């Protein structure tokens, strides 16, 4: 089952509960920029902060590819610290939830 439409809607509506329901209990976010990883709780804490900020926006959000094992998405994100990045995110899926994420980002604007 494809979950991208639900994730996109949750982000657009800043629906934290809906968004978090698609994050696997064993979720890992690989942060190449800092060389660290974040678990589910740490990631959701960051997302909650983003959703609470009026300056956090997502534009040009699209699914590049999704099947039962993987989701690849692209978006342009404006962050609360006034930076803007084009983000390509690749997720592996487990139990139809996001299980592991790695991103590539390029500063824009």
pLDDT tens-digit map of 69-105: 999 999 999 988 989 999 999 999 999 999 999 999 9
Query: At 40, which CATH number?
Result: 3.10.450.50
Q: Which conformational region is residue 9 in: left (phi greater than 0), alpha (psi within -120 to 50 degrees), or beta? A: alpha
Query: What stretches of 32-80 adopt beta strand conformation (E)?
Result: 36-39, 57-66, 70-78
* Number of other CB atoms surrounding residue 19 within 10 Å: 20
- Domain count for the chain, please give it: 1
Mean pLDDT for the stretch of residues 31-36: 84
Instruction: Copy the structure tokens of residue 104.
Output: 């590539």
Q: Domain span at residue 68? A: 4-107
Is residue 98 within 8 A of residue 23, CB to CB? The reply is yes
- pTM for this predicted structure: 0.91
In whole angstroms, give the CA distance from residue 47 to residue 13. Answer: 13
């Amino acid at each position: 089952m494809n979950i991208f439409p639900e994730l996109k809607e949750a982000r657009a509506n800043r629906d934290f509960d809906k968004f978090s329901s698609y994050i696997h209990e064993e979720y890992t976010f690989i942060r190449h920029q800092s060389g660290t990883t974040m678990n589910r709780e740490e990631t959701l804490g960051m997302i909650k902060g983003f959703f609470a900020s009026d300056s956090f926006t997502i534009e040009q959000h699209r699914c590049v590819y999704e099947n039962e094992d993987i989701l690849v998405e692209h978006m342009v994100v404006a962050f609360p610290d006034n930076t803007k990045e084009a983000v390509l995110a690749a997720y592996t899926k487990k139990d139809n939830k996001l299980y592991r994420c790695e991103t590539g980002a390029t500063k824009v604007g």
